[in-house]
Structure 1
Amino acid sequence: MTPTTYEILTVAGDGITLPLLIWRRFKRPMPGLIEATLDANPGLADLGPVLPVGTKIRIPIPAPEAEERPAERISLW
């Protein structure tokens, strides 16, 4: 996954985890994005599984070309 830009998200509620924050942003599975986010935010893992309110997190946004697209259907008839 090659990120092109970063988006800054702020934790705004109690009980928010990194996977939940990513799910709420993208509304679909994003394989490898949790690891890429941890790489982009040194020390984020030290905060624990539940992120403190007000924490700012840089989320890498994958390039549109890198996203999987459904295969085109070809009909012979």
Structure 2
Amino acid sequence: MPRIVYAHQYDTVDAICQRVYGRTAGVTEQLLEQNPGLADLGPMLPQGTAITLPDVVQQPQRSTVVQLWD
């Protein structure tokens, strides 16, 4: 069963992704694909807009350490 959330007043797609998934990277695009026409509503979504959440797989944590100076 799809999971649905409703936009709060002044919500953006990025704010919803951050609130639900804890990140926006790699999630915003999936959410927009899952909800055709959502981007047409503008940067701030109308309050109460129903948004179907995609199932998102957690991104693996990068363990590479980059040292700028040795």
Q: TM-score range by the shorter chain?
A: 0.7 to 0.9
For structure 2, the 5+ residue unaligned runs are 64-70
Q: Note the aligned Cα RMSD (angstroms).
A: 2.0
TM-score normalised over the length of structure 1: 0.67
User: Which one-letter code corresponds to 2:59 in the other structure?
Assistant: E
Moved over 6 A (4+): none
For structure 1, the 5+ residue unaligned runs are 72-77
Aligned-pair identity in percent equals 33
1:26-37 equivalence runs, <5 A? 26-27=21-22, 29-37=23-31
Matched residues in 2 for 1:62 and 1:22: separation? Answer: 11
TM-fit CA distance, 1:70? 6.2
